[in-house]
Amino acid sequence: MIDVVLASLILGPAAITYLLRSNAALGFLALCTGFVLSISVIGDLKQLLSEINLSIAQSTLGLILLFVPLFITLLLARGSKRSGLTFWLQLVVALCAGGFLVLSVAPILASSSEFDLSKSNFYDQLEKVQSLVIGLGAALSLMLIWLTGVHKPKKH
């Protein structure tokens, strides 16, 4: 069961990228932003929400900060090329985003629920190559953004 969840978390961004022709490079960088937010501002955000009488667990808030920027960015950045080297690089970046998503979500789930992704052998293998996943995703994302730019499709 855990391996199915891991596979869906990794393949989810790639599937959205493929089906919507989304810009996975922007999605990866949005995930990086969500990761930084989930680490650095989560305490202040939780305090702000408690002041307005909205009670959310810190783990739930962390998951929201990770998932929402990634998937909204993939939905809004749709309509790129579907063929060529750029598209294949976008899929590689989307797989890296999925790997980074798993690496980011696993500690949150392990501390907050009985659903521990780190018990999987697949997660252990992913953890061994986390520097490659994050570094390759970041390098390809920046390269794709710098070389291709962000283009909106022309209206007919």
Taking the chain, what is the end-to-end CA distance rounded to the nearest angstrom? 46
pLDDT value for 137: 95
Write out the DSSP string of the chain.
-HHHHHHHHHHHHHHHHHHHT--HHHHHHHHHHHHHHHHHTHHHHHHHHHHTT----HHHHHHHHHHHHHHHHHHHT----SSHHHHHHHHHHHHHHHHHHHHHHHHHHHHHSS--GGGSHHHHHHHHTHHHHHHHHHHHHHHHHHHH---PPPP-
54: which residues sit within 8 A by CB, 6+ positions away? none
Q: pTM here?
A: 0.86
Computed on alpha carbons and rounded to an integer, the radius of gyration of the chain in Å comes to: 16
pLDDT value for 12: 92
pLDDT value for 31: 95
| pLDDT tens per residue, range 55-111 | 888 888 889 999 999 999 999 988 766 678 888 899 999 999 999 999 999 888 887
| pLDDT tens per residue, range 1-49 | 788 888 898 999 999 988 988 889 999 999 999 999 989 988 888 888 8
pLDDT value for 68: 94
| pLDDT tens per residue, range 122-153 | 889 999 999 999 999 999 999 998 987 655 66
